[in-house]
Amino acid sequence: MPKPASDTVFAGSIPKLYDTLLVPLIFQPYAHDLATRLGSWPLERVLEVAAGTGVVTRTMASTLPERVSITATDLNQPMLDYAAAIGTSRPVEWRRADALQLPFADQSFDAVVCQFGAMFFPDKVKAFAEARRVLAPAGVLLFNVWDRIEDNDFADVVTATLKDMFPSDPPLFLRRTPHGYFDTASIRSDLANGGFAKPAEISTVAARSRAPSPREPAEAFCRGTPLLNEITARDASLVDEAVDNAAKAIAARFGNGPVDGKIQAIVVTVER
């Protein structure tokens, strides 16, 4: 089933809130995980797709040897602009690009990296085929996706809360898209259909999501993701109430002080 166009709209206030709230809440641990895994490969040229606000880009820039060139791309220009404005510890190339039609020559990169972007690709097989096309013969595709929403506490609570608010038409962005591509058999099949003949190494990585109060995760998911677009489409006047209700639900489960919830991702490594 086609996903709503709003699922891929990261504009307006979303990029800033995404970076200031969601990155420390759920993305930073996995950025370090990807960069650490990538460091074990012989590299000269790295391409990042769906770079978002640049959390992995910044991590790679600070951990990979300076001789390794980094090209960071995203389809969404506001996110890319925000990432470029933050900058990195050393120069990288920022470039708008569609993962389904990469503007690079065959065999241009030693690694293609993607953090929590594959779920958004409308044609995953084509995206994987493009990644393989631009990889050097000994290159590697390294990416992660979120596991099912039930294994990601705050996202699950927020989704349940909004279902109660909008019972006839619940905003299901988090379940549908970020947490909608966790079946490893489907991932392996899409990789194979994208031309990757070698078996993928797939691992499950659990971590902790911590915030000073229940309000931060409520704000992060309701205002810092395209979930905001869904709430606004139903009733823009209820955004504040949605945040308040999500914060109360998180507090009811995790307490009114600092909160600590489980997050879980699937990490995929596959050689060209």
What CA dihedral angle connects 184, 22, 156 and 207, to 10 degrees?
60
CATH of 5-271, picked from 3.30.420.40, 3.30.70.260, 3.40.50.150, 3.30.70.2340, is 3.40.50.150
The mean pLDDT of 205-220, rounded to a whole number, is: 97
Give pLDDT tens digits for 104-118.
999 999 999 999 999
Residue type, 167: P
Q: Which residue has the higher pLDDT, 188 or 8?
A: 188
CB-based burial label for 263 (10 Å; 0-12, 13-18, 19+): buried
pLDDT at 9: 61
Mean of per-residue pLDDT scores for the chain: 95
Residue type, 223: R
Q: Kindly state the percentage of the chain with pLDDT values over 90.
A: 90
Is the full-model pTM beyond 0.85?
yes
Give pLDDT tens digits for 33-70.
999 999 889 999 999 999 999 999 999 999 999 999 99
Q: What is the CA radius of gyration of the chain?
A: 18
- Beta carbons within 8 Å of 30's beta carbon, 6+ residues apart: 115, 116, 144, 205, 207, 265, 267
Q: Which residue has the higher pLDDT, 13 or 269?
A: 269
pLDDT at 5: 66
CB-based burial label for 126 (10 Å; 0-12, 13-18, 19+): middle
Hey, where are the domains in the chain? 5-271
Q: ∠ CA 87-90-96 to the nearest 5 degrees?
A: 50
pLDDT at 7: 56
| Beta strands 109-115; 93-96: pairing state | unpaired
How is residue 106 annotated by DSSP? Answer: T
